[in-house]
């Protein structure tokens, strides 16, 4: 505010400092208040990881490993891509929502759902909704959660495929994380139990070697071996997703996610240091005309509600509630660790979103729009793109566009939509200004592309396992044996169903530009935020039912905000008469053109026109269907809350009975003096059983 009032240029350092300071205050005070006063964590109570330890899904896991797993599992495409696209609205709305949204909504949701799932033996979100809200709302939640889950996983997998296709460096480096993770898992469990720091040092060293070796592979005769087509990558992802879901969690999933966290946090940390050193100026306006008028070329719609939908995971994400009620509650050692794992990991992801927004906003606006506006607006040449950008009110010459592409060794940067290439260009600008100059810009660009693929892949493997839990919980209502996570036939069958479901949409999408997951891609943001509304409704209901009505505002206020934003967006996507916003309006426009024999972009022929008509119809119907399901969940939750308030005693919940814990472990990343004394008295060093 000081800089704006003085008419100064805004430096990116402002955003970095504001974010870190806000996170520190929120974690120190607000998260602590929720843990102590609202949730009332009890470290004498055994968690399901301790009580139900089966060495496959339930496994007490060192908090340092677990926070890495949880962060890697929740941090997908959203915090990287969403803020880049939202930069169209200016840097101020996005930054404010990312910071305030995570403090009061996103991190709260993750921590509270993790706690309540942990108290219910690690039950999935959909099953908790059925148990706590009732049959009607529960069935609506189960259907909504599982179907949205499949869409989200397919979208995330598509981003990975697009990033790795024909990239031997990225493919090799990411492939090597699998054997490294397997080695770490066996090393920590069998060879050197409890030696987390030692295992970490070995794993990180091997990871860095794999990244450097990826560059060697790209320049060697092995390049062709690791240059895979989108179809081949899809098959590899499906196979990997299945094995990541069925293998014991200590063997592959947890160590690989923990390993990936070092890569993620390390790169984002270096990016922040780069910003502090290079001090780049934000070239985007604080609030753009597109935010006021809702006619932006990157995506259509006004600032409210679409900036909140577009940013998604960086501030509040329904997908996180699936992880918080999936793998993590089955692995956490002590109840007090929900603050570090649930709230802390989400703050880390929010910082990723801030850095992504900075990377987009330091670019010249002309280059930003030349990369992110669709090909139908820009054309296929640098000359047409330059002219189109000029019509938007910005300037970039054809020579500048060609030079920008040459600097990162790409044939063209025109219409490289989706946000990922823009983020890579922004990251290369920051890194190259600190290390190597323009001569290393291409290296940093391709490094960033590989980093994005690694970032997103970890949500696919963990998400598949969570989808398996969800399907087992759902089918367990019909046939009890399949609901037991330790029953291997049920484990294998449900894992296969989940990977084949998202794998089908993914494979169809990579073989047909207008089919498969490409058909459902426009639903990603809204579906994700509707899922958050379900999670917050479940959390609020449990708080009220358990006699904590005075604290229900902690999740109730974020629920009211998220429901208002997301249902408004759903209404506009279904009923808007603007074809750039409304699905049915788009359908009508393309259907009328099809009747006249015309071809409109992005279609290239009449068959494409028919596909767009079909896709718009499906998206409109599903958007309405998901919104109705969520309204049913919220309405049922409100009724249960009303009954709980009127009741003389707290309504019964499905919380597991109390069992005394035998594990001594720290609550935070570093043990306090008191915790050190307790561990010494118990004869442990890092939280093993006494």
Residue with tokens 């690690």: 122
Which range has the worst mean pLDDT, 165-169, 273-277, 402-406, 564-568?
A: 165-169
Asked if 244 contacts 252 with a C-beta cutoff of 8 angstroms, the reply is yes
Residues 6+ apart with CB under 8 A from 451: 263, 264, 267, 427
How far apart CA 121 and CA 46 sit, in angstroms, is 11
More confident residue, 650 or 586: 586
Size of the chain in residues? 690
Instruction: Please list the alpha-helical segments (H only) found in 576-605.
Output: 583-595
When pLDDT is averaged across residues 103-125 and rounded to a whole number, the result is 96
Asked if 234 contacts 503 with a C-beta cutoff of 8 angstroms, the reply is yes
Asked if 206 contacts 144 with a C-beta cutoff of 8 angstroms, the reply is no
Task: Indicate whether 689 pLDDT > 50.
Answer: no
Determine what percent of the chain is predicted with pLDDT higher than 70: 98
User: What is the number of other CB atoms lying within 10 angstroms of the CB of residue 566?
Assistant: 27
pLDDT band for position 249 (cuts 50, 70, 90): confident
Q: Residue 508 is encoded by which pair of tokens?
A: 């169809």
When pLDDT is averaged across residues 113-127 and rounded to a whole number, the result is 94
Give residue-wise pLDDT tens across range 218-247: 888 888 888 888 899 999 999 998 988 888
Task: Indicate whether 557 pLDDT > 60.
Answer: yes
Determine what percent of the chain is predicted with pLDDT higher than 90: 50
Give residue-wise pLDDT tens across range 571-620: 999 999 999 899 999 999 999 999 999 998 778 889 989 999 999 999 99
- pTM as predicted: 0.89
Give the largest CA-CA distance in the chain.
82
Residue with tokens 């690694």: 454
The helix (H) or strand (E) run that includes residue 486 is none
How far apart CA 22 and CA 544 sit, in angstroms, is 29
DSSP string, 656-673: PPP-B--B---SSSS--H
pLDDT band for position 369 (cuts 50, 70, 90): very high
pLDDT the model gives residue 268: 87
Q: Please state the φ and ψ torsions of residue 166, each to the nearest 5 degrees.
A: 60, 30
How far apart CA 614 and CA 625 sit, in angstroms, is 16
When pLDDT is averaged across residues 284-301 and rounded to a whole number, the result is 90
How far apart CA 250 and CA 62 sit, in angstroms, is 11
pLDDT band for position 685 (cuts 50, 70, 90): low
The winner for highest mean pLDDT among 63-72, 347-356, 474-483, 680-689 is 347-356
Q: Residue 168 is encoded by which pair of tokens?
A: 């031997």
Asked if 433 contacts 280 with a C-beta cutoff of 8 angstroms, the reply is yes
Q: Residue 585 is encoded by which pair of tokens?
A: 């309006």
- Report CA-CA distances (Å) from 233 to 237, 447, 519: 6, 19, 20
Is the dihedral angle over the CA atoms 8, 11, 13, 17 positive or is it negative?
positive
pLDDT band for position 690 (cuts 50, 70, 90): very low
Can you state the angle between helices 168-186 and 441-476, rounded to 10 degrees? 50
Is the dihedral angle over the CA atoms 30, 33, 34, 38 positive or is it negative?
negative
How far apart CA 74 and CA 79 sit, in angstroms, is 10
pLDDT band for position 686 (cuts 50, 70, 90): low
More confident residue, 688 or 213: 213
Q: Residue 686 is encoded by which pair of tokens?
A: 């890092």
Give residue-wise pLDDT tens across range 488-540: 888 889 999 999 999 999 999 888 888 778 778 788 889 899 999 999 999 99
When pLDDT is averaged across residues 643-649 and rounded to a whole number, the result is 88
Burial label, 547 (beta-carbon count in 10 A; 0-12, 13-18, 19+): middle
Q: Residue 44 is encoded by which pair of tokens?
A: 């004498």
How far apart CA 537 and CA 635 sit, in angstroms, is 9
Give residue-wise pLDDT tens across range 148-170: 888 888 888 887 887 777 778 77
Asked if 350 contacts 99 with a C-beta cutoff of 8 angstroms, the reply is yes
Give residue-wise pLDDT tens across range 31-54: 999 999 999 999 999 999 999 998
Residues 6+ apart with CB under 8 A from 379: 385, 387, 388, 414
Q: Please state the φ and ψ torsions of residue 281, each to the nearest 5 degrees.
A: -90, 140
CA angle at 410 for the pair 406 and 413, rounded to the nearest 5°: 90
Task: Indicate whether 688 pLDDT > 50.
Answer: no
DSSP type of residue 439: G
pLDDT the model gives residue 126: 87
Residues 6+ apart with CB under 8 A from 315: 97, 98, 99, 100, 101, 102, 105, 106, 308, 350, 353
Q: Residue 51 is encoded by which pair of tokens?
A: 């009580």
When pLDDT is averaged across residues 441-459 and rounded to a whole number, the result is 77
pLDDT band for position 204 (cuts 50, 70, 90): confident
Rg of the Cα atoms in the chain? 24
Instruction: Please list the alpha-helical segments (H only) found in 26-134.
Output: 32-33, 48-51, 63-74, 78-86, 91-101, 107-118, 125-133
Asked if 485 contacts 469 with a C-beta cutoff of 8 angstroms, the reply is yes
- Is residue 516 left, alpha or beta, with left meaning phi > 0 and alpha meaning psi from -120 to 50? left
Query: Which regions of 482-594 does DSSP assign to beta strands (E)?
Result: none
Asked if 537 contacts 128 with a C-beta cutoff of 8 angstroms, the reply is no
When pLDDT is averaged across residues 293-322 and rounded to a whole number, the result is 90
Asked if 559 contacts 529 with a C-beta cutoff of 8 angstroms, the reply is no
How far apart CA 454 and CA 257 sit, in angstroms, is 10
Residues 6+ apart with CB under 8 A from 33: none
Q: Indicate the domain borders of the chain.
A: 1-52+94-166+228-374+417-646
How far apart CA 527 and CA 622 sit, in angstroms, is 9
More confident residue, 171 or 453: 171
Asked if 354 contacts 95 with a C-beta cutoff of 8 angstroms, the reply is yes
Q: Does the domain made of 1-52+94-166+228-374+417-646 have the CATH classification 1.10.287?
A: no
Which range has the worst mean pLDDT, 23-27, 202-206, 356-360, 570-574?
A: 202-206
pLDDT band for position 248 (cuts 50, 70, 90): confident
More confident residue, 200 or 646: 646
Per 3-state DSSP, the chain is made up of helix, strand and coil in percentages (nearest 5) of: 75, 0, 25
When pLDDT is averaged across residues 13-38 and rounded to a whole number, the result is 96
Residues 6+ apart with CB under 8 A from 614: 519
Residues 6+ apart with CB under 8 A from 406: none
The helix (H) or strand (E) run that includes residue 201 is helix 196-218
How far apart CA 9 and CA 150 sit, in angstroms, is 44
pLDDT the model gives residue 480: 79
CA-based nearest residue to 132, from 478, 631, 640, 549: 640
Task: Indicate whether 408 pLDDT > 80.
Answer: yes
pLDDT the model gives residue 523: 86
pLDDT the model gives residue 684: 65
Residue with tokens 């935010």: 291
């Amino acid at each position: 505010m000081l800089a704006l009032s003085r008419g100064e240029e805004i430096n990116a350092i402002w955003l970095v400092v504001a974010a870190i300071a806000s996170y520190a205050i929120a974690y120190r005070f607000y998260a602590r208040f929720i843990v102590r006063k609202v949730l009332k964590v009890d470290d004498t109570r055994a968690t399901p990881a301790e009580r139900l330890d089966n060495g496959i899904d339930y496994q007490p896991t060192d908090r340092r490993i677990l926070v890495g797993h949880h962060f890697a599992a929740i941090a997908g495409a959203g915090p990287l891509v969403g803020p880049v696209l939202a930069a169209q609205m200016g840097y101020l709305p996005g930054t404010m929502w990312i910071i305030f949204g995570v403090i009061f909504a996103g991190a709260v949701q993750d921590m509270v759902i993790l706690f309540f799932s942990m108290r219910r033996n690690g039950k999935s979100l959909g099953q908790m909704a059925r148990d706590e809200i009732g049959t009607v709302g529960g069935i609506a939640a189960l259907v909504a959660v599982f179907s949205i889950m499949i869409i989200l996983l397919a979208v995330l997998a598509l981003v990975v495929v697009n990033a790795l296709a024909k990239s031997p460096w990225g493919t090799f480096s990411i492939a090597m994380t699998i054997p490294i993770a397997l080695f770490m898992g066996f090393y920590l469990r069998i060879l050197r139990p409890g030696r987390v720091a030692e295992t970490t040092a070995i794993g990180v060293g091997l990871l860095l070697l794999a990244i450097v070796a990826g560059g060697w592979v790209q320049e060697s005769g092995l390049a062709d071996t690791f240059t895979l087509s989108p179809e081949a990558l899809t098959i590899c992802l499906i196979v990997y997703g299945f094995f990541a879901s069925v293998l014991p969690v200590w063997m592959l999933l947890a160590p690989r996610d923990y390993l990936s966290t070092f890569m993620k946090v390390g790169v984002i940390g270096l990016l922040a240091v780069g910003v502090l050193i290079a001090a780049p100026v934000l070239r985007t306006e604080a609030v753009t005309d597109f935010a006021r008028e809702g006619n932006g070329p990157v995506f259509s719609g006004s600032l409210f509600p679409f900036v909140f939908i577009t940013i998604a995971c960086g501030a509040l994400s329904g997908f996180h509630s699936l992880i918080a009620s999936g793998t993590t509650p089955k692995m956490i050692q002590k109840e007090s660790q929900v603050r570090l794992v649930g709230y802390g990991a989400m703050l880390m992801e929010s910082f990723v979103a801030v850095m992504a927004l900075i990377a987009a906003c330091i670019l010249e606006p002309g280059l930003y729009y030349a990369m992110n506006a669709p090909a139908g607006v820009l054309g296929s040449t640098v000359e047409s793109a330059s002219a189109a950008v000029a019509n938007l009110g910005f300037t970039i010459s054809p020579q500048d566009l060609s030079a920008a592409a040459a600097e990162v060794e790409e044939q063209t940067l025109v219409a490289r939509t989706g946000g990922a290439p823009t983020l890579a260009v922004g990251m290369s600008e920051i890194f190259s200004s600190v290390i190597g100059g323009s001569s290393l810009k291409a290296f940093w660009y391709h490094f960033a592309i590989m980093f994005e693929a690694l970032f997103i892949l970890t949500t696919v493997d963990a998400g598949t396992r969570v989808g398996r839990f969800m399907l087992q919980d759902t089918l367990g209502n019909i046939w009890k044996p399949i609901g037991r996570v330790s029953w291997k036939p049920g484990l294998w069958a449900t894992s296969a169903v989940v990977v084949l479901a998202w794998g089908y949409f993914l494979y169809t999408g990579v073989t047909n530009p207008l089919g498969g997951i490409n058909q459902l891609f426009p639903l990603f943001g809204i579906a994700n935020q509707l899922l958050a509304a379900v999670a917050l409704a479940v959390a609020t209901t449990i708080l009220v039912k358990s006699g904590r009505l005075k604290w229900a505002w902690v999740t109730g206020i974020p629920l009211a905000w998220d429901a208002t934003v997301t249902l408004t967006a759903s209404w506009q996507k279904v009923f808007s008469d603007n074809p750039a916003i409304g699905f049915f309006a788009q359908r009508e426009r393309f259907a009328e053109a099809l009747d006249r024999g015309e071809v409109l972009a992005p279609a290239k022929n009449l068959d494409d026109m028919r596909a767009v008509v079909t896709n718009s119809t499906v998206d409109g119907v599903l958007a309405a269907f998901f919104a109705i399901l969520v309204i049913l969940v919220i309405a049922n939750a409100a009724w249960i809350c009303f009954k709980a308030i009127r009741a003389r005693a707290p309504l019964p919940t499905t919380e597991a009975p109390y069992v005394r814990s035998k594990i001594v472990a720290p609550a935070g990343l570093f043990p306090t003096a008191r915790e050190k004394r307790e561990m010494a008295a118990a004869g442990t060093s890092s939280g093993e059983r006494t």
